[in-house]
Amino acid sequence: MRDYAKEVLEGSVRAAARLISWLEDEDPRALEHMERLYAHTGRAYVMGITGSPGAGKSTLTDKVTFALRKKGLTVGIVAVDPSSPFTGGAVLGDRVRMSRLTMDPGVFMRSMATRGFLGGLAKATGEVVKVLDALGKDVILIETVGVGQDEVDVIRLADTTCLVLVPGLGDTIQSMKAGVMEIADVFVINKADRPGADQLYAEVTTRVEQDASIRERAWTPPVMRTVAVDDEGIGDLVEAVEAHRKFLEESGALEEKRRRRAREETLQLIHGELYRRIRDRLTANGELDALVEAIVQRRESPYRAMQHVVARWMRE
């Protein structure tokens, strides 16, 4: 068997790509490699780019990556697109806007389908970020799905989350669901060349000011304007992200963020593994079928069944 962990640490694109596939497939072979990579993660800075479909996320990702490359930084990109709930298939089209990055050895770009995972990311996105981190990328950009406004999972992975809003796409403050405005560390008003951009900018700025007056915050999200297609405002956006990074580092918030992430992740892993083990055993010995039968007939309740299964498992 190939030593993928070692190869990833040596910079092998091939090994990283295959390990990512295993992670996406939840192939148990990935575990051993991830275990060995883990010590080499935590160095990359993770940026999330989220917003409605068509807001310009991919175009921005391309431009921001280009700007970071000019600063001498290497970049990993994870772009997530939705899987069809009907066919399980997906068209992953984000590369179209990033063609010029393909041949740059300092950039690794991976498209991912959600495979039924909600929240704007794929289930394995967090693991993929770690692989790119171990591969040595300085900055990792996550482009989220963007089908509605419930895609807030990115804040769990990103150190800085950029919320992209555009005029004319129904991105008004009034239409914004509760909690969406709050995810932004940096607001990006993209398509600033379009009518309505000034109004949207004013609306968002006012909102940010109001928020700050209601409750004092350690960080006030800046509101940036960009015309991604024309590469306008990108330098300022990168600076805004850097300012946020500096704030996180100096205030200790970055460490706190990462500690919270490690905690959630560990609990999630334990949850997943326990679930898998118990499910496998219950299905292998036919106990689950018997329980389901009893539950359907109301001879047993799912609550009691759960307590019995868990209690017995804990004893063993």
* Residues contributing to the site for ligand GDP (CB under 6 A): 53-59, 97, 146, 190-191, 193-194, 227-229
Q: What secondary structure letter does DSSP report for 87?
A: T
Does 103 help bind other proteins (rule: CB under 8 A)? yes
Does 88 help bind other proteins (rule: CB under 8 A)? yes
Residue (183 or 282) nearer to other proteins, CB: 282
**Residue 204 burial (CB count, 10 A):** 23
Rounded distance, CA 166 to CA 279, Å? 45
Residue with CB nearest Mg ion? Answer: 58
Minimum distance between the CB of residue 223 and other proteins, rounded to whole angstroms?
31
Do residues 61 and 123 touch, judged by C-beta distance below 8 A? no
Does 118 help bind other proteins (rule: CB under 8 A)? no
Site for other proteins in 17-76 (CB under 8 A): 17-18, 20-21, 24-25
Q: What secondary structure letter does DSSP report for 220?
A: P
Q: Quick one: what does residue 55 bind among Mg ion, other proteins, ligand GDP, none, with the CB cut-off 5 to 8 Å set by partner type?
A: ligand GDP
Based on its alpha-carbon atoms, the radius of gyration of the chain, rounded to whole angstroms, reads 22
Do residues 179 and 152 touch, judged by C-beta distance below 8 A? yes
Site for other proteins in 157-216 (CB under 8 A): none
The burial class, CB within 10 Å (0-12 / 13-18 / 19+), for 211 is: middle
Residue (14 or 259) nearer to other proteins, CB: 14
Does 93 help bind other proteins (rule: CB under 8 A)? yes
Q: What single string gives the DSSP state of each residue in 263-289?
A: HHHHHHHHHHHHHHHHHHHHHHTTHHH
Residue (96 or 262) nearer to ligand GDP, CB: 96
| Positive or negative torsion for Cα 165, 168, 169, 174 | positive
Residue (102 or 213) nearer to other proteins, CB: 102
Residue (81 or 171) nearer to other proteins, CB: 81
Q: Residue 138: name the closest of 290, 242, 34, 267 by CA.
A: 242
- 88-96, 105-113, 260-268, 271-279 -> range binding Mg ion (CB under 5 A): 88-96
Do residues 126 and 157 touch, judged by C-beta distance below 8 A? yes
- What six digits make up the tokens of 267? 């609990």
Residue (160 or 190) nearer to Mg ion, CB: 190
**Candidate residues 28, 39, 87, 250; the one interacting with other proteins per rule CB under 8 A:** 87
Residue 159 phi/psi, 5° resolution? Answer: -75, -40
Minimum distance between the CB of residue 55 and ligand GDP, rounded to whole angstroms?
4
At position 15, the amino acid (one-letter code) is A
**Candidate residues 62, 94, 133, 151; the one interacting with Mg ion per rule CB under 5 A:** 94
Collapsing DSSP to helix, strand or coil, 81 comes out as: strand
Does 58 help bind Mg ion (rule: CB under 5 A)? yes
The site for other proteins (CB under 8 A) is made up of: 13-14, 17-18, 20-21, 24-25, 83-84, 87-93, 95-97, 99, 102-103, 108-111, 113, 115
The site for Mg ion (CB under 5 A) is made up of: 57-58, 94
